[in-house]
Structure 1
Amino acid sequence: MIHVAIVGIGAISPAHIEAYKRFADLCEVTVLCDLDLKKAKEKAQDYGLKRVPVFKDIDEICADPEIDLVSICTPPSTHASIAVRLLKAGKHVLIEKPMAASLEECDLINQTAKEQNRIVSVIAQNRFFTPMMKVKQILDQQLIGKVLHSQVDSFWWRGNCYYDLWWRGTWEKEGGGCTLNHAVHHIDILQWMNGMPTEVTAIMSNTAHDNAEVEDLSVAILKYKDGSIAQITSSVVHHGEEQQIIFQGEKARISVPWRIHASTSSANGFPNKDSDTEQTINDLYENLPSVVHEAHLGQIHDVLLAIQGGTPVLVDGQQGRQTLELITAIYKSASEKKTVTLPLKADDSFYTKESILKNTIYFHEKTVSVDGFDTEDITTGGKYDQTT
């Protein structure tokens, strides 16, 4: 039986608690930890964990030899320090997105995990949706040919008061705006499916949230070694929250939400519908198996099986780092107003948290700060991410 602790009992913690409870044959939540003991005890009551002890300090988790795995659900600025302490205490860690506040912190987490022979997984729950898994398999089989252009529309909407929460809306505590904390899921999918680019050119702005230092809208253009291009729009100002990721290949176009279109050339170069290619790819998509456990449920199951059987996790610390590297390149390009070449090295002006705080753009001063909201309900129009 895998014994689990959860650190940080805020709005995202129920996704972890409910998932662990679903796999009662594999694990048991034995500890909750939060600076707000009252809130943590209330949540323990709400989720049937009345007998589970609630701690205020992770030192008590580190000292408990029975705990095997810890979900880190705290604000992004705290991820690295907590993860490193837990790893050194011999615990496996599952870190909510983003992995850390800087590439330096990611490298420290990964190095510690390697030294301690522990598992690090970073939440990227969108990978565990059936449409994502199916599109990934179609790309891997190269049925659409070389990918020429990729398009990510990570469209969300948040009211101005969203950034009133004490840790949101600041570079120091949140680590960034919509690019880091909303589009992270789609950016992770892009680098998972299409690899890392060699160049990034980006702009960002704060168009509608005057209580935030960070961006609420960014647009990035990515160039790959083979000459192909991708574009990423990250937003919390889009009504309706339509989201999609599109891959335009040599032979066909596929996307999530699922859509297939293929063309062949007429004698004068204009397109004709390629029904045969469309039918072949669509039949494969429809016949691929569905994911048994989706979203957080799927990723947590993946981590539990890895601990039990010694197998690799789908989203490890290196994958978490690559996603943050791509986001960091977007921030660097937008802040320094130039094209950025990847990979980013240890001497880069955006490698450490301190250098990011020094060199990034600050849009507004945060003047309102609240400890919490009356409700933790997460409402969203997004089909594939119900937890941002």
Structure 2
Amino acid sequence: MIKVAIIGMGNISPSHIRAYQTFSDRCAIVACCDILPEGAEVRRRELGLEQAKVYASHAELLANEDLDLVSICTPPATHEQISVDFLSAGINVLCEKPMAPSLAACDAMLRAEKQGGAMFSTVAQNRFRDDVARLKAVLDSGLVGPVSHVQVDSAWWRGLSYYDLWWRGTWEQEGGGCTLNHAVHHIDLLLWLLGAPQSVTAVLANAAHENAEIEDLSVAVLMYQRALATITSSVVHHGERQQIVVQGREASIGLGGDVVAEISQPNGFPAPGGNAELLERLQALTATQEPLAHTGHQGQIDDVLTAIETGRRPAIDGHDGRRTIELITAVYRAGIERRTVDLPLAGDDPYYRPGTLTERAPRFFATSASVTDLAGSITVSGATGPDHEQKASR
């Protein structure tokens, strides 16, 4: 039986807890931890964790519990220290996104994983979705031909009060705005589907949140060898219509399953009806994809438990998380310095270090509130894009 602890009992923690409870024959949550232990106690009772002890610090938890795995559900600025402490002690870690606010922090976590002989996985639960699996299968088949363009819309909407929570809205505590904390899901998927780009240009703005230092909107253009990808990261889009659309030479396919395959007339214009044969092949391919046994956080936690049980690497490890942070860091540097940034980033790049982004990033507005909790239900977009799964005030 794998012994699990939850660190951080905010609004993302139920997604972890319920997933672990699905596999109660394989694991047991024996402890939970939060800097507000009274709130953790309430959440513990609500979710039926009768046997779990409550701790007020991760150091106290580490000193007093015999653990196999911890889920870290705390604000981004805390991920490095908590992960390093548990990995160094040989305890496996599943850490919520984003992995960390800097590449140096990511590398410290990877070193601790290696030195402690433990396993690290960063949350990217949207890889465990049937629509994503179908899109991946189509791209891997090569039927769409060489990729020309990928359109990524990571479109969310958040009201002003969203940034009143104590750790949100500042570069120091949140590590960044929508590019880091919302579009991270789509950026992970883009890297998984298409690989890393050669360079990036970007523009950052705060268009609608006068109570936050950070960006609430960014647009990035990624250059591949012969293809471009555009990423819109936003918390200002009403309706939260999200999408990933891949344009190949032979056909295009979207995350929602929409497929278009044009063929040319002699004059170069599209022929009526398109390429019916290719459309049929693509539709047959997607139809044969078996539904995933577990999806979302449940799918990733199933994978992490299996990795611990069998000794294999998890499907999503710290190197995946680092690649995502590297691209996000490049987007920020490009937007701040208003220039093209080449990838990969070198070890002596000033933005590799912790603190550089905090020092150089624009303060669009001053934060105007700092509350410990926010009332209201957690709503989830009905869009076809990656699900932000109850992540309103982690």
* Bin of the TM-score, shorter chain as denominator length: over 0.9
Judged with a 3 Å threshold, the aligned counterparts in structure 2 of structure 1 residues 199 and 27 are, in CA distance, closer, same or farther, namely: same
Residue 166 of structure 1 aligns with which residue?
Answer: 166
TM-superposed CA distance for 1:60, in Å, is 3.0
Matched, 1:73 2:55: no
SS at match of 1:154: strand
Residue 325 of structure 2 aligns with which residue?
Answer: 324
TM-superposed CA distance for 1:62, in Å, is 2.0
Residues 189-228 of structure 1: pairs in structure 2 closer than 5 A: 189-224=189-224, 226-228=225-227
Is the 8 Å Cα contact of residues 223 and 229 (structure 2) preserved in structure 1?
Answer: yes
Judged with a 3 Å threshold, the aligned counterparts in structure 2 of structure 1 residues 376 and 174 are, in CA distance, closer, same or farther, namely: farther
Residue 282 of structure 1 aligns with which residue?
Answer: 283
Residue 16 of structure 1 aligns with which residue?
Answer: 16
1:387 to 367, 386, 390: 390
Equivalents in 2 of 1:387, 1:222: separation in Å? 29
Equivalents in 2 of 1:164, 1:246: separation in Å? 34
Q: Deviations over 1:289-337 (max 9, x none)?
A: 1111110010011100000011221110000000111111111000011
Q: Normalising to structure 2: TM-score of the pair?
A: 0.96
Residue 242 of structure 1 aligns with which residue?
Answer: 241
Q: Deviations over 1:211-234 (max 9, x none)?
A: 10000000000001x221100000
SS at match of 1:264: coil
Is the 8 Å Cα contact of residues 156 and 382 (structure 1) preserved in structure 2?
Answer: no
Is the 8 Å Cα contact of residues 63 and 89 (structure 1) preserved in structure 2?
Answer: no
SS at match of 1:71: strand
TM-superposed CA distance for 1:66, in Å, is 2.5
Equivalenced residues, count: 387
TM-superposed CA distance for 1:387, in Å, is 3.2
Residues 1-388 of structure 1: pairs in structure 2 closer than 5 A: 1-64=1-64, 66-224=66-224, 226-272=225-271, 273-375=274-376, 377-383=378-384, 384-385=386-387, 386-388=389-391
Equivalents in 1 of 2:118, 2:377: separation in Å? 32
TM-superposed CA distance for 1:141, in Å, is 1.7
Equivalents in 2 of 1:215, 1:294: separation in Å? 31
TM-superposed CA distance for 1:162, in Å, is 0.3
SS at match of 1:246: strand
Is the 8 Å Cα contact of residues 33 and 40 (structure 1) preserved in structure 2?
Answer: yes
Unmatched tracts of structure 2, length 5 or more: none
Q: Deviations over 1:140-192 (max 9, x none)?
A: 12111111111101110000110000000000000011111111100100001
Unmatched tracts of structure 1, length 5 or more: none
Equivalents in 1 of 2:142, 2:312: separation in Å? 27
Is the 8 Å Cα contact of residues 201 and 340 (structure 2) preserved in structure 1?
Answer: yes
Equivalents in 1 of 2:65, 2:159: separation in Å? 44
Equivalents in 1 of 2:43, 2:347: separation in Å? 41
Is the 8 Å Cα contact of residues 378 and 390 (structure 2) preserved in structure 1?
Answer: no
Is the 8 Å Cα contact of residues 350 and 359 (structure 1) preserved in structure 2?
Answer: no
TM-superposed CA distance for 1:266, in Å, is 1.1
SS at match of 2:351: coil
- The range that moved more, 135-144 or 329-338, is 135-144
Is the 8 Å Cα contact of residues 61 and 67 (structure 1) preserved in structure 2?
Answer: no
Q: Deviations over 1:47-84 (max 9, x none)?
A: 11123100012123323462100000000000001100
Is the 8 Å Cα contact of residues 247 and 255 (structure 1) preserved in structure 2?
Answer: yes
SS at match of 1:48: coil
SS at match of 1:74: coil
SS at match of 1:350: helix
Identity of aligned residues (%): 47
AA matched with 1:52: A
SS at match of 2:355: helix
